[in-house]
Chains A and B, each alone.
Chain A
Amino acid sequence: MRRNQEFVICEAAGEYILIPTGNTALRFHHLIILNKAEAFLWQLLKTDQTEESLLRNVMRTYEVDEGTARKDIADFIERLKDGPIIGEDEYVLYRRK
C-alpha cells in the first residue's frame, strides 16, 4: 500500500492536515487531521509499504511496545483506507490514468 498522491499534508495550528486535491477533491469532501506519529507514517507511505515494514520503521523511531504500535498502525490504515491510502493495484491504475 502507499499514499494517494492527490492528498497534500500541511502543518497548521499545531496539527497535520491532509487536504484532498485534484480529482480526489471532487469525491472526497473532508479534511483528515493527523497527529505527529501518523504524519510520520504518512511520510513513509510515499513508497510502497506493508504493515510489517511500517511497524519496523515505527519501532526504530519511537519508543513503543510492539502491541501498541501494531494496533495504532492498524487503526491508522483503517481510518485512511477509503481514500488517502491506496493498494498497489489501485496505484498502478492511478498511474495509467
Chain B
Amino acid sequence: MCCIEENKKRDFERLYEQEQWKKLKMLLTENAEEVSCLLTPGELRQMMETSGRPQNEDGPMYYYLWGLAQIRSDDRVCFRETMRMINTRYRFMPAGKEKHDWIEVYLNLLYENPECSILDWVDTAEKYVSIVGRIRLYSMAGNRPGICFGIKEMSALFLKDKWGGGYYTACWRRIFGAVERRLFKMAEIEYRLETNGEETVEGELNEIFMSVDRKNGTADEWLGCAGIIFKLQRNGRHRGEYEAIMHSVIEFLTAKGYSLALKNIRAAVRVMQGVTGEKESLIKWLEYLRVERSLQNEWVDTTNLYIKFMQARGYLNVMQYERARICFKSTAAYSELIGQTWLCVGSLFGQAAAVWEQGETQEAVKLSAQALTMGIQYKYTGIFTEYGQTGVRLIEAYRKMTGLDDNLSMAGRRKKYYYGNVMTASYEGYHSILLRKARKEMRYGQSQEEKDQVRTALTMTEVLILQYIANGYSNKEIGEKMNIRLTTVKTHVYSIYRKLDVSSRVMAINRAKALNIL
C-alpha cells in the first residue's frame, strides 16, 4: 500500500522520465513545501534544471524551488542571482497578497542561506513582516531530528546576553503564527537540554509533546519532538521512555514517505542503541553504510551531514577510531562552512576523542581546545559529556593547559563550586560546571560494578546530613543544627550528590534508601 506522498514522488519521477516538463513544473510547484522532504537536493536540482529556468509568468513557489535546489546543493553564486531576481519581482509591487507571497518565499530562501545568521534573518524578517503581515516557514528542521540545530542553528536566539533572552522571543511572535511559535519553543527546550540539562525543562516536556496535533502535525513538529527525545536519551538515560512519541514520529514520517527524515531518525536510534550496549544493530548499520555507494566517498552535503555525524559517533562507540576520525573531520569542516556551530563543536570534540584513543594525545588536546573555545560561545555542555572517560580527560587536559586548575589550587584560595546557571556563568564557572557534568555522565555510563567502586562510602558527617535532608531540613537549618557554615553544608550536599550520582534531594533520599544507607 502506498501513501499519497510516495505516489507524488513517483509522479515526479514518471513525468521526469517521460520528459513532460510542463506537467512536472506544475506538479512541483503545487507541492513546493513538501518537495524538500521528498527529494534529495541532487534529485531536485536535476528536475528543476530540466523543468526550465524561472520565467516572468512563473509564480513565487517556482522561484522558491529553483533557489532551494541551488542552495541545498551549495551553489551559492547561482542562489544569489535567484535572490536578486525575486527581489526585483516584489520590490515595486503594491502591498497585498501577491507581495506577501513573494516576500514569504524570499524570507524562506534567506533562511536556507548559511551566509545569513539567524539574528540577521530575524531582523530582516521583522522589517518585512511589518509591511506585509505574518509569514510561514516551510521547513526548519531540514529533515534532521531537532529544530534548534536544523537548517539554521538557533542557539544565538536563546543566549542570555544584553537583550535578556526575551527580545528574540518577542520578535518571533511578531513574525510567525502558532506552528512556528511551537517550533520555537521546541528549539528553546532543545537548547536548554544542550546547556543547562534536563532539570530546567522537566515541567514543559509533556506539554510540548501533547501540543503536536496527532493528525495534522507537520514534519517539523514531529522532528522537533524526536530531537528533544534524543537529547533526553543521550548517554543511555530514559531508556525505554517516550516510546509512544517516537512511534508516532516514525509512523508519521513513514506514512508521508519522508524517507530523508526517516534515515536520519533511524541513524540516531541506532547510535542510541549502541550507547546502551545493543551494539549488534549499530554494527550492522555501520557495515551497511560502508558498502552503500552514496556514503562511500567522504563528501558531506546537507542531506548526509547528520547521518555522517551519527556514523562517526557509531564508529567511536564500536572503537573504530580511524574511521570515526575521518567522518568527524569531514562533518566538522562542512558544518563550519554552513554555520552549524553545534555540529562543528561536536565533530571537533568527537574527533579529539577518536585521536586521543589512537594515542595522539597532543593532537587530541589541540582539537578539544578548539571545540571548547567554540563551545563556550553558546554555553554548550551536553555535547562534551557524551564521550565518557575520554571526554573527561580531554576537558581535564584543557584545564591543565589553560591553567584553570592552577587558579583553583592557589594557596590561600578556596576551591569554588559553581552551582548556578551555565548561561550566566563566567569562564571559570562554565568550565567548572562542564567538568562536573562530564564526570557525572561518565559515572552514569559506567557498569554497576564500576559505579560501586566510585561510590565510596559516605562519611559520618555526610550520612548525618543525609538524615537531616530526609527529615526535611533546609541547608540553612542543617547548618544551624550542626553549627557549621551554610557553604560547608552545601559542599557536603554536593559531595553526597556526587557519591550517590544524583541531582536532587528527593533522588538522594530514594537512592540512599535503596542502598540501605537510610
Give A6's nearest chain B residue, CB to CB: B427
Residues of B near A10 (CB, < 8 A) are 369, 401-402
Partner of A25, one of B360, B363, B365, B427: B427
Q: Mark each residue of chain A from 14 to 42: 1 if its CB lies under 8 Å from any CB of chain B, else 0.
A: 11010111110110011100000000000
Whether the pair A29, B366 counts as a contact (CB closer than 8 A) is no
Chain B contributes a number of interface residues (CB within 8 A of A) equal to: 18
Q: Which of B388-412 contact A (CB under 8 A)?
A: 401-404
Give A10's nearest chain B residue, CB to CB: B401
Residues of B near A25 (CB, < 8 A) are 373, 376, 427
Q: How far is the CA of A74 from the CA of B128 in the complex (A)?
A: 44
Residues of B near A23 (CB, < 8 A) are 426-427
Give A8's nearest chain B residue, CB to CB: B402
Give B366's nearest chain A residue, CB to CB: A12
Residues of B near A14 (CB, < 8 A) are 362
Give B370's nearest chain A residue, CB to CB: A31
Residues of B near A30 (CB, < 8 A) are 370, 373-374
Q: How far is the CB of B429 from chain A (nearest CB, A)?
A: 11
Whether the pair B363, A13 counts as a contact (CB closer than 8 A) is yes
Residues of B near A29 (CB, < 8 A) are 373-374, 376-377
Give B401's nearest chain A residue, CB to CB: A10
Residues of B near A17 (CB, < 8 A) are 366, 369
Residues of A near B404 (CB, < 8 A) are 21
Whether the pair B369, A31 counts as a contact (CB closer than 8 A) is yes
Chain A contributes a number of interface residues (CB within 8 A of B) equal to: 17
Whether the pair A26, B427 counts as a contact (CB closer than 8 A) is yes
Whether the pair B376, A12 counts as a contact (CB closer than 8 A) is no
Q: How far is the CB of A40 from chain B (nearest CB, A)?
A: 20
Q: How far is the CA of A42 from the CA of B402 in the complex (A)?
A: 16
> Most chain-A Cβ atoms within 10 A of its Cβ — which of B360, B376, B404?
B376
Q: How far is the CA of A23 from the CA of B427 in the complex (A)?
A: 6
Q: How far is the CB of A97 from chain B (nearest CB, A)?
A: 13
Whether the pair B376, A22 counts as a contact (CB closer than 8 A) is no
Partner of A13, one of B362, B374, B427: B362
Whether the pair A31, B403 counts as a contact (CB closer than 8 A) is no
Q: How far is the CA of A15 from the CA of B365 in the complex (A)?
A: 12
Residues of A near B428 (CB, < 8 A) are 22
Residues of B near A20 (CB, < 8 A) are 373
Q: How far is the CA of A29 from the CA of B363 in the complex (A)?
A: 19
Q: Which of B345-395 contact A (CB under 8 A)?
A: 360, 362-363, 365-366, 369-370, 373-374, 376-377
Across the A-B interface, give the 5 residue pairs with the lowest CB-CB distance, nearest first: A13-B362, A12-B366, A29-B377, A13-B363, A12-B362
Offer 21 A-B interface pairs, CB within 8 angstroms, sorted by A: A8-B401, A8-B402, A8-B403, A10-B401, A12-B401, A13-B360, A13-B366, A15-B366, A17-B366, A17-B369, A19-B402, A22-B427, A22-B428, A26-B376, A29-B373, A29-B376, A29-B377, A30-B370, A30-B373, A31-B369, A31-B373
